[in-house]
Structure 1
Amino acid sequence: MTKLLRRATFAALIVPMTLGLAACGSKDATGSGAEKGEKIAAIAAPAGKQWSEIIAVTPEDGYRMGNPDAPLKLIEYASLTCPHCADFSEKAGAKLRDQYVTSGVVSYELRNQVHDGLDLTMAMLVRCGTPENYFALSEQVWGNLTTIIQGVQTNGAKVDAAMKQSDQASRYKAIADAAGLTEFFAARGISRDQAGTCLAKPGFAEGIAERSNKQSQELGVDGTPTFFLNGRKLEEQTWEGLEPALQAAGAR
């Protein structure tokens, strides 16, 4: 999806905050490419655990899956309204988790880059459960993104009115209700009451938006998905490009 089309699709969905909007699937990312290294031996997980079951919230408000001391640290900046991110999730999710993260060689951290008010509301909702639910809820959003967007477009006037509410304590609940997100997440373990309380939490939305904006500016994240491997920004934006980069770095 081009930047122009994204803006047309979500023109009425911009929340009245400075969010540092960025294109989905921008091809302007630059970097030094994949690292080179020998094969790294698998690292045993703690007794009774798999590395893919170990989830932690990082100081950057990312959610890291896997060995915190993994020799290869993969970070993805992604938008929950980005179809390219949805495509990556579909193609990479199971293999990245079951082969690379489970080996203990790769840790995978997912950070939200917020593009619009709908995106921000969903970034809040995927955090409303336990940290262990964050990845599953994000994958559910991406797996149903076409249906979610169709629902938003059908109820565009209601969503637009919710976006314009001046009371931030009720704005995001109104967006979630109008966009069908309250029911969507309720069917996936986040009750209506739980979502309402979460979305009204003081400073919650502002914190996510500010971190998205600050980190994107500092790290040069100008599109999604954008990947970093051991701190290096990669040119690859697809699983077909990223997997060889992981393998070249020793994850094989």
Structure 2
Amino acid sequence: MIRPVALLIAATLFALSTLAVASLSPNAAQAQETDSASIVEMTQGAADAPVTIIEYASFTCPHCATFHLETYPRLKADYIDTGKVRLIYREVYFDRFGLWASMIARCGGPEKFFGISELIYKGQKDWTSAGGPTEIVDELRKIGRLAGLDNDTLEACLQDGDRAQALVTWYQDNAKADNITATPSFIMNGEPVSNQSYADFSAVIDAELARQ
């Protein structure tokens, strides 16, 4: 999924202006200032792993879902869980639905983030095609409840306009800094790496490990 950076920024601004809480809860206030420094990096693996991979992905991107359902489990077992790779997952917002999914995934904190993300990717075809915005956000709520979040917690997350603003600013800053124009995109020890099969991806990781 390739989009010019200008379109990415326009899309995220549209996402924020049409945030679910704004349409479903007229009294929700939007933040006047944002603090993207408050956004927690979602990571897996040892902090001192010799290889750090930053993944940029959108919860509405089919290729991202394929990566997470097919390649990521092997990557985690072979490299992350063995202390060779540290993964940093950063969300990309092409649309408001991806932003909402991110807010649900982050609702349980770092401990639940990757588990909820897996549920979101597994159900991507279903929730993205559920209908209009109201139906889609309802499906995302169901995923949150399936992950053990209660209704009050979910609503608090979805109605956090300050956090939504901060997430969009954080995404824009990251995308600009790393020149992200497609998802999934990967930065391995500071160098861009394309999305590819597990065999090819692991070969790139092994080559990087050999250089350390």
TM-score range, shorter chain: 0.7 to 0.9
Map 1:7-46 onto structure 2 (within 5 A).
14-17=14-17
1:243 equivalent in structure 2: 202
- CA distance in structure 2 between the aligned counterparts of 1:2 and 1:125, rounded to whole angstroms: 25
- CA distance in structure 1 between the aligned counterparts of 2:112 and 2:16, rounded to whole angstroms: 29
- Whether 2:27 is the aligned partner of 1:66: answer no
Which one has a larger percent helix, Structure 1 or Structure 2?
Answer: 2
- CA distance in structure 1 between the aligned counterparts of 2:195 and 2:123, rounded to whole angstroms: 24
Deviation (angstroms), 1:15: 2.2
Q: 1:101 aligns with which of 76, 80, 100?
A: 80
Please, which runs of 5 or more residues in structure 1 have no aligned partner? Answer: 19-57, 163-173
2:174 equivalent in structure 1: 215
- Whether 2:90 is the aligned partner of 1:111: answer yes
Task: Tell me: CA distance 1:60–1:244, structure 2 relative to 1, closer, same or farther (3 Å).
Answer: farther
Write the letter of the residue equivalent to 2:86: S
Deviation (angstroms), 1:193: 1.1
Q: 1:189 aligns with which of 139, 148, 151?
A: 148
Q: 2:106 aligns with which of 122, 127, 138?
A: 127
1:150 equivalent in structure 2: 129
Write the letter of the residue equivalent to 1:212: Y
- CA distance in structure 2 between the aligned counterparts of 1:107 and 1:250, rounded to whole angstroms: 12
Task: Tell me: CA distance 1:237–1:215, structure 2 relative to 1, closer, same or farther (3 Å).
Answer: farther
Give 3-state SS (helix, strand or coil) of 1:64's partner.
strand
Deviation (angstroms), 1:124: 0.7
- Share of identical aligned residues, percent? 28
- CA distance in structure 1 between the aligned counterparts of 2:194 and 2:124, rounded to whole angstroms: 25
**Structure label with greater radius of gyration:** 1
Task: Tell me: CA distance 1:2–1:59, structure 2 relative to 1, closer, same or farther (3 Å).
Answer: closer
Deviation (angstroms), 1:237: 4.4
Deviation (angstroms), 1:111: 0.6
Instruction: Give structure 1 regions of 4+ aligned residues with deviation exceeding 6 angstroms.
Output: none
Q: Deviations over 1:152-207 (max 9, x none)?
A: xxx32xx2xx6xxxxxxxxxxx9623xx2112211221221110011222410011
- CA distance in structure 2 between the aligned counterparts of 1:142 and 1:125, rounded to whole angstroms: 12
Please, which runs of 5 or more residues in structure 2 have no aligned partner? Answer: 19-36
Task: Tell me: CA distance 1:59–1:240, structure 2 relative to 1, closer, same or farther (3 Å).
Answer: farther
Q: 2:186 aligns with which of 227, 234, 244?
A: 227
Task: Tell me: CA distance 1:220–1:2, structure 2 relative to 1, closer, same or farther (3 Å).
Answer: closer
Write the letter of the residue equivalent to 1:94: P
> Is 1:227–1:237's contact at 8 Å kept on the other side of the alignment?
no
> Is 2:50–2:85's contact at 8 Å kept on the other side of the alignment?
yes
Corresponding pairs, count: 184
Write the letter of the residue equivalent to 1:248: A
Q: 2:71 aligns with which of 77, 92, 107?
A: 92
2:137 equivalent in structure 1: 176
Q: Deviations over 1:42-100 (max 9, x none)?
A: xxxxxxxxxxxxxxxx9874311011011101110000000000000011222111210
What is the TM-score of this pair, normalised by structure 1? 0.66
